[in-house]
Chains A and B, each alone.
Chain A
Amino acid sequence: MYAIEITGLTKKYGSFTAVNNLSLSIPKGMFYGLLGPNGAGKSSTIHCITGLANITQGTIKVLGKDVVTDYQEARKLVGLSQQDIHIDPYFTMDQVLVYQAGYFGIPAGEAKKRAEKLLKQFGVWEKRNEIYRKLSGGMKRKVEIAKALIHKPKILILDEPTAGLDVQTRKDLWEFIREQNKQGLTVILTTHYLEEAEALCEKIGIITEGKLHIEANTQELKKQHKNKKLEEIFLSLTEKKQ
């Protein structure tokens, strides 16, 4: 069974096709990089997996659970840190996490414990009583990721999580995510920092114009391209297409 199994996914917005008959399988426990230029359809694919977008055609299974017919079970298995963060402006960071846990059926006592652990883990515990607006960009991102983890998902999807984060914050974040991955969490990452993808992802899939352009083991891909940097490989691959 795959962590994520996408079969023939098409996503249209009106008549515009953002994802075009995409099939993709991500094994359990993998650190997977979903790469591609802006507008390639990465976020659209992720939104189809997580229920933020309606699927036009095709099926998606999360650990065997269909995200449409068995959506409640599927949602429990996935945590998403969205590319654009949306947080209730009146809630304190503590409340954001406790409510989110509550929606997943986690009792308040347990939710508070988990929120405390995550906020401390991400170094934003002092900000627990602050509202969203009072947080720096990096802190907002940390809370967004904590929110994605509060219900202990088996799969974590990070949609451009490091855009705008400083070097130290990124380093801390990756250390933490890597540790979680070692403990069995499947991680799917989209990013524009290709060094990041190169360093972290076992396998990468490159999407262009809504199609899976290439999928390969990161190290093998590098070997095939004479150990060039992933960035160069990426550019040569995505250019060829155009």
Chain B
Amino acid sequence: MIGFWTLIKRETMRFFQVPNNTILPVLVSTALYFIIFGVALGERISTGSPEEYLIFLIPGLIMMNMISGAFSNPSGSLFVSRLLGYINDVLLSSLSYKEIVSAYIIGGVIRGIVLGIITWITGLFFATVGIHHLGWFLLYSILTCVVFACLGILIGLYAERNDTLNIPRNFVITPLVFLGGVFYSLEVIPETLRQITLYNPLFYMINGLRYSMTGTAEASIWLGAILLIALSTVLILLCTYLFKIGWKLRS
């Protein structure tokens, strides 16, 4: 157990040690989103009152920052330690593959949750959103972080160059998050976009977290939960298998 905790500590420490690089930017961008979309444009992109729109927006932004944090922690850490070779410290140790994978995932989840909480606190300056249903809230926030931490592990293992590391983030995750209903409800968008949105897995994750906080949902909560459980199970198994065979880790 000590070995496992040591690796978790290592995985989370860097994040807390350089708050100027990891926490402050999130704080600033989140505040900007609230000001631009919530305060300035809110009335034009929503049917309800500005207050209602801010309440709608907050869970979406929480999800966005959680996803980004959960993904970047393991992807960055694995990539750099592979590049510089000090991943060998872990490979030479008596940690089991399961412990190693779990520690990287937990590192990602912790970073995701911390960023989510920071977003929430920032949001409190604009509108008050609490928790409507704790069970769903925990399930959606934690499993979403698990899914993206696993994706971060996959990219952290796969990438040979720094730019590869950012491709999935810039070209897949961010678009899917933005088009997944962070900023708008299905009601206000054209029919075609609405149909497309229903195929976006991120929509169901954002929808689920929004339900757990505000009590209103635009799609089935169960569907999102099943999707998350299925995705996280498959991804955890895949990551563990890749560590076991030493994919991109052992020569």
Contact = CB atoms under 8 A, between A and B. Distances in A.
Chain B: interface residue count, which band? Answer: 20 to 34
Interface in A73-101: 73, 75-76, 80, 82, 84, 86-90, 99-100
Interface of B: 1-3, 5-7, 9-10, 14, 81, 84-86, 88-96, 245-246, 250-251
Interface stretch (A104-112, A174-182, A191-199, A221-229): A104-112
A186 B14 CA distance: 37
Given A51-B92, A86-B84, 7 more contacts: A54-B245, A72-B95, A73-B94, A87-B86, A99-B89, A102-B9, A105-B2
Interface string A47-71: 1001111100000000000000000
Contacts of B10: 99
A75 B93 contact: yes
A13 B89 contact: no
A84 B61 CA distance: 44
Contacts of A104: 3, 93-94
Interface in A1-15: 13
A103 B14 contact: no
A209 B183 CA distance: 63
A51 B250 CA distance: 7
A23 B3 CA distance: 33
Contacts of A103: 3, 6-7, 89-90, 93-95
Nearest to B2: A105
A110 to B, nearest CB: 10
Contacts of B84: 86, 88-89
A64 B96 CA distance: 19
Given A99-B10, A102-B2, A103-B93, A82 B88 contact: yes
A80 B3 CA distance: 18
A233 B100 CA distance: 46
Nearest to A88: B86
